[in-house]
Amino acid sequence: MARIGPLIWFWSLIILPFTAILTFITTLIVCINVPNNAPKGEKYPQISQLGTGEAYYYFVGGFTLLAPQFLIITLGRLQFLFQSQYLVHRAIVSVIHALALLACIFMLLMAAFSIESNVAIHLTGAFGMFGLISSYCFFQTMLVLYLFIQRSNAPQHSNVIWPIWFFICSLILIIAFVYWLISKEGIPEYIAAASPFLYLLGFVPQFWMQARGKKRDSLLPEIMRYNSETDV
């Protein structure tokens, strides 16, 4: 049983980035197709307008499911960085990932208070969440690029694909957000909101590697015991 727990943890981490994207998309689709009471004549973010009226409870439920998934994924990433490199101090790595924890709190705040009930709290939660997640992606990307440059001392970070992936996702996030601020159009807002979840897909290979390694470790005692029995 002691060996099963870690296996469940690591294999769950592989699945969670995909379920997070699915949760986010499903929440938006459901809310779009349910009547809302978005205030007329006010220019609020389109995603914020989805969480009003009959759609409010679907909005709250979706983001309440999303927050722990996002948190667990980033905790898995934190664990991997603790185990796979020594170049960047753990305190710095922890501070970067603390941004994700704070983002989850703001996410729940945004979901709980709609623009109908309290505009100020909702927008604080929404922009606070987005700002913290964007900051997390930015600093995480800088960390990955640094480890890639120092890959001779951090061999588990020697694949060039993932720094490129994180950089592209961060770039898309910034461009879409700036374009949304200028144009107030819905499409760039949705692209900016979805970019962090695409970013998380870059963690899947490391989670897969950890799960495979943990599986081998769990099988090793059984193999040794079998060899000892056959020798007798």
Number of residues in the chain = 232
CA distances in angstroms from 229 to 215, 225, 226, listed in the order given: 22, 6, 5
Residue 228: per-residue pLDDT: 44
Residues 167-181: tens digit of each pLDDT: 999 999 999 999 998
Residue 40: per-residue pLDDT: 67
Least confident of 86-95, 183-192, 206-215: 206-215
Calpha distance 50→59 (Å, rounded): 7
Overall average pLDDT of the 108-133 stretch: 93
Residue 194: per-residue pLDDT: 93
With 0-12 / 13-18 / 19 or more C-beta atoms within 10 angstroms meaning exposed / middle / buried, residue 120 is exposed
Quick one: the chain helix, strand, coil %, rounded to 5?
85, 0, 15
Is the pLDDT assigned to residue 218 strictly greater than 80?
A: no
Overall average pLDDT of the 64-79 stretch: 95
Is the pLDDT assigned to residue 216 strictly greater than 70?
A: no
Is the pLDDT assigned to residue 232 strictly greater than 60?
A: no
Least confident of 5-14, 126-135, 144-153, 168-177: 5-14
- Alpha-helix runs per DSSP H in 113-160: 119-149
With 0-12 / 13-18 / 19 or more C-beta atoms within 10 angstroms meaning exposed / middle / buried, residue 216 is exposed
| More confident position, 206 or 221 | 206
Token pair listed for 215:
């599986």
Confidence of residue 117 (pLDDT cuts 50, 70, 90): confident
Calpha distance 166→147 (Å, rounded): 13
Residue 229: per-residue pLDDT: 44
Overall average pLDDT of the 132-151 stretch: 95
Calpha distance 209→224 (Å, rounded): 23
Q: Compute the C-alpha angle 99/207/3, nearest 5°.
A: 110
Calpha distance 193→31 (Å, rounded): 15
Q: Which residues contact 106 (CB under 8 A, 6 or more apart)?
A: 124, 125, 126, 128, 129, 132
Residue 42: per-residue pLDDT: 63
Is the pLDDT assigned to residue 95 strictly greater than 60?
A: yes
Is the pLDDT assigned to residue 111 strictly greater than 50?
A: yes
| More confident position, 29 or 210 | 29
Is the pLDDT assigned to residue 73 strictly greater than 90?
A: yes
Contact 193, 6 (CB under 8 A): no
Q: What's the distance, CA 98 to chain centroid?
A: 13
Overall average pLDDT of the 25-38 stretch: 89
Contact 135, 199 (CB under 8 A): no
Residue 220: per-residue pLDDT: 40
Calpha distance 173→168 (Å, rounded): 9
**3-class SS of residue 89:** coil
Calpha distance 146→35 (Å, rounded): 48
| More confident position, 171 or 38 | 171
Residue 2: per-residue pLDDT: 52
Calpha distance 150→158 (Å, rounded): 8
**3-class SS of residue 150:** coil
Residue 61: per-residue pLDDT: 95
**3-class SS of residue 159:** coil
